[in-house]
Amino acid sequence: MSESRVALVTGSSSGIGAAIARRLASEGIRVVINSARSEEAGKALAAELAQAVYVQGDVSDAADARRIVRSAVEAFGRLDILVNNAGVTRFVPLDDLDGADADAWREIFDVNVIGTWQMITAATPHLRASGDASIVNVSSVSATRALGSSVPYAVSKAAVNHMTRLLASQLGPGIRVNAVAPGLIETPWYAGAEQVWESSRDWITAHTPLRRVGTPEDVAEATLHLVNAAYTTGDVLTVDGGRHIV
């Protein structure tokens, strides 16, 4: 290509999203950083990378989703890669049916499912113009196993997996659609939930073949693989240190 590819990574001011942005940038890909809040951190990350810009916006808002995509294309003239990393959760025990109230379901689905859909629909015309484009959705192992931070969160990620496969069947050959499904990853999500984090980390370390929890960089490496995997679409790549085989 005469110009390097352009990637838009939602929810990328910290954690997994920031690691993905850094990894893509390390390959010479121009990157658009996004967050709904955390504007200062997003701008700092964009300044850190060689060719990057920051765009504030909430993916759960349809107008914002369109504006984020439009701003990415205005900044770099094209869009080749969309990574849907923006997500929210609530820490609610799976047996606490009252704790997972309707407000929790709406909040989580608005970002994790509807936000992902809105970003894809806004980006698709530009990705088609690329001719060899890639969408990577960030899912979770909780989409396929009876675990997770809450029932609404796990169900939202199951929806993301099915959306991934449905769209892979419809958007080819010009756009590949895949997902990464992380296990327990050490991210800022656990701030304020140290007891949950410590017990989860100890259990995973003891029962996972690789004997450790994951890092954002582990997920970033898997994401880069899917971005470049020219003959892979409709796949959900598990990144959990082998826990799913035990």
Task: Give domain status of residue 176, yes or no.
Answer: yes
Report the CATH number that the domain containing residue 67 is assigned in CATH: 3.40.50.720
pLDDT at 137: 98
Q: Are 191 and 173 in contact (CB under 8 A)?
A: no
pLDDT digit string (tens) for 56-84?
A: 999 999 999 999 999 999 999 999 999 99
Q: DSSP string of 136-203? A: EEE--GGGTSS-SS-HHHHHHHHHHHHHHHHHHHHHTTTEEEEEEEE-SB--GGGTT-HHHHHHHHHH
Task: Give domain status of residue 51, yes or no.
Answer: yes
Q: Using CA atoms, how far apart are residues 41 and 190, in angstroms rounded to an integer?
A: 18
pLDDT digit string (tens) for 143-188?
A: 999 988 899 999 999 999 999 999 999 999 999 999 999 998 987 7
Residue 242's φ and ψ, nearest 5 degrees, are 90, 5
pLDDT at 193: 58
Can you give the residue range of the structural domain that contains 208? 6-238
CA atoms within 13 A on the CB side of 231: 0
Task: Give domain status of residue 73, yes or no.
Answer: yes
pLDDT interval class at 1 (50, 70, 90): very low
Domain count, the chain: 1
Choice among 54, 153, 190, 231 that is catalytic: 153
pLDDT digit string (tens) for 185-234?
A: 987 766 555 666 677 778 888 889 999 989 999 999 999 999 999 999 99
Task: Give domain status of residue 119, yes or no.
Answer: yes
- The alpha carbon dihedral of 201, 204, 205, 206 has a sign of positive
Q: Specify whether 153 is catalytic.
A: yes
Task: Give domain status of residue 227, yes or no.
Answer: yes
pLDDT digit string (tens) for 95-147?
A: 999 999 999 999 999 999 999 999 999 999 999 999 999 999 999 999 999 98
Task: Give domain status of residue 243, yes or no.
Answer: no
Task: Please enumerate, as own/partner, the contacts of 94-98 that have beta carbons within 8 Å and a separation of 24 or more.
Answer: 94/146, 94/147, 94/148, 94/150, 94/151
Residue 164's φ and ψ, nearest 5 degrees, are -55, -50
Task: Give domain status of residue 182, yes or no.
Answer: yes
Question: Integer distance in angstroms from the first to the last C-alpha of the chain?
Answer: 43
pLDDT digit string (tens) for 23-61?
A: 999 999 999 999 999 999 999 999 999 999 999 999 999
pLDDT at 25: 98
Name which of 183, 163, 167 is nearest 175 in CA terms: 167
Task: Give domain status of residue 53, yes or no.
Answer: yes
